[in-house]
Amino acid sequence: MRKLPEGQIDVLFASYGGGHVAALRPVAQALAREGISVGFLGLSLAQVDLESHGLDYFGFAELEGANSDDVQAWGRELAGPNVPGSPVAYHESVAYHGLNFRDHVTLWGETHAREHYAKHGRQGFLPVQTMEALLRQLQPRLVVATSSPRAEKALFISARKLGIPRVCLVDLFPIQEVEWIAKPGYADILCVLNDQVRDYVIRNGGAPDSVTVTGNPAFDAVNSQHSIVLAKEIRQTRGIAAQSKVILWASNIEPEKHRVTGAVGDPQLPRRIERTLRKMLSFHPDWHLVVRYHPSEFVEFEPARNVHLSSRDENLHALIHSSDLVVVLTSTVGLEAHLAGKSVICVDMSVFTADTPLSKMGIGTGVTCLEQLEPLVEQLLAKEDLPADAKHGIPNACATVSGIILTHLGKMPS
């Protein structure tokens, strides 16, 4: 439900959608169960997620000044016409654009603000004044957000100015974000995925005593007992013997060109990987290949001996646990498999490998040509699985992050 908190709160959360809100939402829910008063600034698609999980939130439309004539006029102009069926409410989009633009007008005047927007669009937004006004209104004892730019970055800048402690949850690999999150004083604590990400942040200027490994709460459900039990049923349904080995190929789309760097991609790379894996089965009759296409891929599956198609509605975590080895390009399925204690191969041949360097961040073993694939598959399938907790260390990221926040608030985790 859309609801701006009344009076002072303990913790203010802020997040955009996708994996960012998935990382923070469980923490906010856990703290609320502990009796901690929380507010959640849901940005763009985060509101859909928060609404679906029954967590109170507010957006730019609830902020002071959102309904003023100038903000509404600028907002409608920049947001464009209302598109029926859009997941983001139109009044929210208008307020978001209008308040962000108002901050630029206050700083530079309208002419310069328009020039800036024409060059950068909403990617150039940094609503520090709007976030400072929000913080003065709610007076939170602590601010928690992810590593995103724009509103979340502005929130950290404002909180630092006002002397409010800050916890930044880095959901994956901060390849671009390290430019600002590693600066001294950006956050009191940076919560990161694993030791490799921690080392990366520190090498780029992060203070060692502020960077702590917590894991990502969005992935805690990977090792649920339900998924582990269901995994056995999946193997039985497919007629896969207990001693047989299962390779999961989690495909994703490869574009012709990276939209930012311009790097040239190979749209057929996912299909070439699949063909390479299929060929291996003729030499290894006890191996099975499960193909999981990305929701945005529209590929006609070719049935073959020991080759199985995983539908989009099949439980992904159970599918991972039913596998012995997972092969990915840059899919976060690789990370989930890693957390499940599975061997992971990362085909480091994508235009997105530099943006999502799974193997460099300790998630799996990388290959740079398809000829390396079969010998590595053989090597990794010869290994025995280890329990996720024993192999990768962080059993419950939500509890770890919640504990850090409660400690900052002077409360002991229950």
Contacts of 59 (CB under 8 A, 6+ apart): 2, 41, 42, 43, 47, 89, 92, 95, 96
Q: Which residue, among 149, 142, 133, has the nearest Cα to 60 in the 3D structure?
A: 133
pLDDT digits (tens, 9 = 90+) for 101-153: 999 999 999 999 999 999 999 899 999 999 999 999 999 999 999 999 999 99
DSSP for residue 264: B
Q: Is pLDDT at 343 greater than 60 in this prediction?
A: yes
User: What pLDDT score does 84 carry?
Assistant: 85
How far CA 61 is from CA of 2, 89, 104, 167, 384, in Å, comes to 10, 10, 18, 25, 53
200 in a structural domain:
yes
Q: Which residue, among 7, 15, 32, 3, has the nearest Cα to 156 in the 3D structure?
A: 15
Does residue 322 sit in the same domain as residue 404? no
Q: Is pLDDT at 277 greater than 90 in this prediction?
A: yes
Crossing angle of helices 397-408 and 19-33, in 10° steps, is 60
Does residue 150 sit in the same domain as residue 252? no
* Mean pLDDT for the stretch of residues 295-305: 92
User: What pLDDT score does 414 carry?
Assistant: 58
Does residue 244 sit in the same domain as residue 195? no
Look up residue 115 and give its two tokens: 């020039």
2 in a structural domain:
no
Residue indicated by tokens 């969005």: 218
Does residue 122 sit in the same domain as residue 206? yes
Rg over alpha carbons for the chain, rounded to the nearest Å, is 23
402 in a structural domain:
yes
343 in a structural domain:
yes
Q: Which domain CATH number covers 69?
A: 3.40.50.2000
414 in a structural domain:
no
Residue indicated by tokens 């209008």: 98
Does residue 139 sit in the same domain as residue 66? yes
User: What pLDDT score does 388 carry?
Assistant: 43
Does residue 244 sit in the same domain as residue 183? no
User: What pLDDT score does 261 carry?
Assistant: 86
Q: Is pLDDT at 156 greater than 60 in this prediction?
A: yes
Does residue 114 sit in the same domain as residue 238? no
The residues that bridge with 346 in the sheet, in sequence order, are 328, 366
Look up residue 184 and give its two tokens: 């001294």
- Rounded distance, CA 47 to CA 300, Å? 35
Does residue 189 sit in the same domain as residue 240? no
Count of domains observed in the chain: 2
Q: Which amino acid is at 173?
A: F
Residues 200, 178 contacting (CB under 8 angstroms): yes
Q: Read off the pTM.
A: 0.88
Q: Is pLDDT at 350 greater than 60 in this prediction?
A: yes
Confidence of residue 392 (pLDDT cuts 50, 70, 90): very low
DSSP for residue 296: T
180 in a structural domain:
yes
* Mean pLDDT for the stretch of residues 196-216: 95
pLDDT digits (tens, 9 = 90+) for 228-245: 999 999 999 999 999 999
Confidence of residue 389 (pLDDT cuts 50, 70, 90): very low
3 in a structural domain:
no
Mean pLDDT over each residue of the chain, to the nearest integer: 93
1 in a structural domain:
no
Residue 359, domain extent: 223-392
Sign for the CA dihedral angle at 217, 152, 55, 167 comes to positive
Residues 118, 110 contacting (CB under 8 angstroms): no
Sign for the CA dihedral angle at 189, 190, 192, 196 comes to negative
Q: Is pLDDT at 259 greater than 70 in this prediction?
A: yes
Burial of 25: CB neighbours in 10 Å, binned 0-12, 13-18, 19+: buried
Q: Is pLDDT at 86 greater than 60 in this prediction?
A: yes
Does residue 79 sit in the same domain as residue 172? yes
Q: Is pLDDT at 305 greater than 60 in this prediction?
A: yes
* Mean pLDDT for the stretch of residues 340-347: 94
Does residue 371 sit in the same domain as residue 400? no
Q: Which amino acid is at 394?
A: I
* Mean pLDDT for the stretch of residues 156-170: 97
Say whether 224 sits in a helix, a strand or coil: coil
Backbone angles phi, psi at 304, to 5 degrees: -160, 165
Does residue 190 sit in the same domain as residue 241? no
Does residue 187 sit in the same domain as residue 250? no
- Rounded distance, CA 366 to CA 168, Å? 29
